[in-house]
Structure 1
Amino acid sequence: MELKHIIPNVEKTFGNLEYAGEGNVEQRRVNGRTMILSRSYNLYSDIQRADDIVLVLPPEAGEKHFEVEDKVKLINPRITAEGYNIGARGFTNYILHADDMVKA
């Protein structure tokens, strides 16, 4: 069985989400042109307080321009799991994806 993604209950999992700033832009050069593969953004959560939440959006969502601490809403959010190992130990990164992010 393969885990494709998890659909979170955003309200219970993250509570209120606020924009915290831009993250990274993942790009690749194809036929001499730069293609954007994804953009990431940092979010604040009033439930998940230990770390900022990193949201990955597809290039179709476009570049987002919000003020810091603007309340945001995620369109079609899902979480994927990515495993990796260091030495003999296994670890998991959980990655939050969405189709878009809009002002709440």
Structure 2
Amino acid sequence: MELKHVIPNMKQTFGQLEFAGEGTIEQRRINGTMTITSRSYNLYSTIQRADDIVVILPAEAGEKHFEVEDKIKLINPHITAEGYKIGNRGFTNYIMHADDMVRA
């Protein structure tokens, strides 16, 4: 059995999301040209207060321009899990993806 992704209950898990800033841009060389494959953005959550939420959007969603603390909504959000080990211990990174991000 393979875990493809998890669809979160956004209201219960994250509450209201607010824009916190731009993250990183992932690029890959395609046919000899550097092409943007995805962009990440940092979000504030009214429930998950310990850390910012990072969401990864595909390049097709385009670059997003919001003011800090603008209320936003994710379109088709899903979470993937990525495992890794350090020494003899196993850890998991949970990665939030969405098709797009719009003002709420």
TM-score w.r.t. length of structure 1: 0.98
Distance, in Å, in 2 between the alignment partners of 1:91 and 1:35 is 31
In structure 1, what is the equivalent of residue 2 of structure 2? 2
Tell me by how many angstroms 1:31 deviates: 2.3
Partner of 2:60: 60
SS in 2 for 1:51: coil
3-state SS in 2 of match to 1:2: coil
Question: Aligned partners of 1:30, 1:4: CA distance in 2, in Å?
Answer: 26
CA distance in 1 between partners of 2:81 and 2:8 (Å): 13
- Which residue does 1:78 correspond to in 2? 78
Which residue in 1 is equivalent to 2:69?
69
Q: Secondary structure at the match of 2:60?
A: helix
1:44-98 Cα offsets, whole Å, 9 max, x none, are 0010000000000001100000000000000000000000001110000000000
C-alpha distance in 1 between matches for 2:16 and 2:30: 38
Q: Which residue is equivalent to 1:12?
A: 12
Stretches of structure 1 lacking an aligned partner (at least 5 in a row): none
Q: Quick one: distance in 1 between partners of 2:35 and 2:11?
A: 34
Corresponding residue for 1:30?
30
Q: Which amino acid aligns with 1:78?
A: H
Q: Give 5+ residue unaligned stretches, structure 2.
A: none
In 1, distance between residues paired with 2:5 and 2:49? 23
Question: After TM superposition, which residue ranges in structure 1, 4 or more long, deviate above 3 angstroms?
Answer: none
Q: % of aligned pairs identical?
A: 78
What letter matches 1:65 in structure 2? H
Partners of 1:98 and 1:30 in 2: how far apart?
Answer: 23
